[in-house]
Structure 1
């Protein structure tokens, strides 16, 4: 992975931590993973999912396992996020600094 991409992935984890300082609620994972897929590769989403699962276990309250998140990563599960879920998650990510808008095309 290139330095620029690795830096973006590191920043993505930082944005998630800022947007969800107390950890991601179980009900937000489906929409969150769907939003992440818009900017990240499948492998990057999986790496972030593992990080989220590890943080969830450390937080103690209603921990989510890597296996739970892997099940949510499937396309069928991600399609079940409601528009309201996506708006809520997008707002949390934006509050943490996540770039929701795509950068303008170079002209």
Structure 2
């Protein structure tokens, strides 16, 4: 599904001249990172609300913000020409390793 979403955004970038995604990607990479940080702050605030009061409204807002962060992460992938298959390979590699072992290997590099 994530692969399909990346493809849809990539196609819209080619077909729609005034898309929001295209506007963000034309700006400096700082813009994408800034948007990711903004979304993370929003997720934190909404998560705290949801944690305090687990109702459908708060859960819905949490889901919306999670989708927003996915969107900006996808733009980050596109901006840096990172293919979904590269992400998939890394996820598979990490599934094979324990979290502790993976962190140890990071420190060796």
The TM-score normalised by the length of structure 2 is: 0.29
Larger relative contact order, structure 1 or 2 (CA cutoff 8 Å, min sep 6)? 1
The TM-score normalised by the length of structure 1 is: 0.30
Higher CA-based Rg: 2
